[in-house]
Every structure is written in structure tokens, then in C-alpha cells.
Amino acid sequence: MKTILTPRRAAAALGALALATSGVAFAQMAPMGAMAHEHTKMVGGAPMYPSRNIIQNAVNSKDHTTLVAAVKAAGLVDTLQAPGPFTVFAPTNSAFAKLPAGTVNSLLEPANKDKLTAVLGYHVVAGRLTAADLLAKVKAGGGRATLSTVQGGPLTVTVAGGRLVLTDAKGRVSHVTIGDVLQSNGVIHVVDTVLLPG
């Protein structure tokens, strides 16, 4: 049976099409509207706000209580609240737990403050290096890039399985598990293994 397109049916069809099209457009625009707010990422069960500094965000992450304790013990709180910018490769509690038994407690002792400061400084690079920046450095370096840490030692960056990989001076490998956690004074990349200077 042939359907006759009357003016009323045509108007209804156009109205339905307009509604469907606007619905698609709205669905496509919704994420952009959400992105108009701060680009927060969840780390350790807490949102990380780009308007806050590294310390203000890190203290809220349940996955970084050991790192925060270490930063306090080393007297680096003021440094990491400074304008920077800094790129911080932030080991999780489970990353610290991979170290030999007693290592963390030993590092937190006042007598080992210099050693602790060196270990923490080895996780920090001056400047704001996003994942895209790191990938560009790796590409420019023919598959690897070397970063100079504030501790003074080098970190090697490569890519494996689509993830950024860091290799320390001792050959230990750490993977970036959450990248581009933006901060007001830099960026944090969460890593799964503690890096150690040579």
C-alpha cells in the first residue's frame, strides 16, 4: 500500500527528524559540556582538581598515603606546593610495598632524610610534561627519551603495549597507570613501581 505524504505527515516527519537530530547533537555535545568543568581524574578514590597544587591533591588519594608521608618526612611539602611547574611520577602504596621489607620504614627515619630526598627527587622532573609531551620525546628520540630528574639522575622513557614505561638507573621498570593528572603547578603520572637512583 502506497503512503501518501500529506502536508501534515510531512510536517510531522520533519519535526521527528529535527528532534532526533537535536538529540544526537545534544548527546555529542554533552561530554564537551562536562569538559567545560575542571578535568578531574579519580586517583585513590578522590577527584584530583587541576586548580589545586600537587600536595593539595595528593593528600586526598588513598593510594598515595606512603608517598605523602615520605614527602612530609623529607621536608618537601613546601617545594611541591611552589609554582613549579613539576612533573611528578607518583608511586602508589602498592609500589612502595614492592620494595624489600623494612625499606620504607628505614627511609622514613630522620637519619636517612638525605637518601629519602634523593629517592623522591628522582620521581620529579622540572617542567610540565603531559603524556603527549613524553610520547613526542620518545618519538623524537627514536623510541626512547631520557629525562633529567631534580635529583640529578636520568630516567629513560619508552612505550610498550600502549603504555609509558620508565626505567631507572638500576634497570627497574615502572609503568604509568594513570597519566595526565593535571595540577595547578604541574602534572602527576601515577606509577606502579618505585624508581631508584643509581
Summarised one tens digit per residue, pLDDT across range 133-185 is 999 999 999 999 999 999 999 999 999 998 999 999 989 999 999 999 999 99
* 27, 21 Cβ separation under 8 angstroms: no
Residues 82 and 185: beta-carbon distance below 8 Å: yes
Asked whether residue 197 is assigned to any structural domain, the reply reads no
pLDDT for 122-138, tens place per residue?
999 999 999 999 999 99
Predicted model pTM: 0.79
Same domain, 85 and 126: yes
Q: Is the same domain home to 121 and 176?
A: yes
Domain limits at 93? 41-191
* Continuous H helices in 42-180: 54-58, 65-73, 77-81, 93-97, 103-107, 113-121, 131-140
Radius of gyration of the chain (CA): 24
- Domain tally, the chain: 2
Q: Check which CATH number belongs to the domain holding 147 and give it.
A: 2.30.180.10
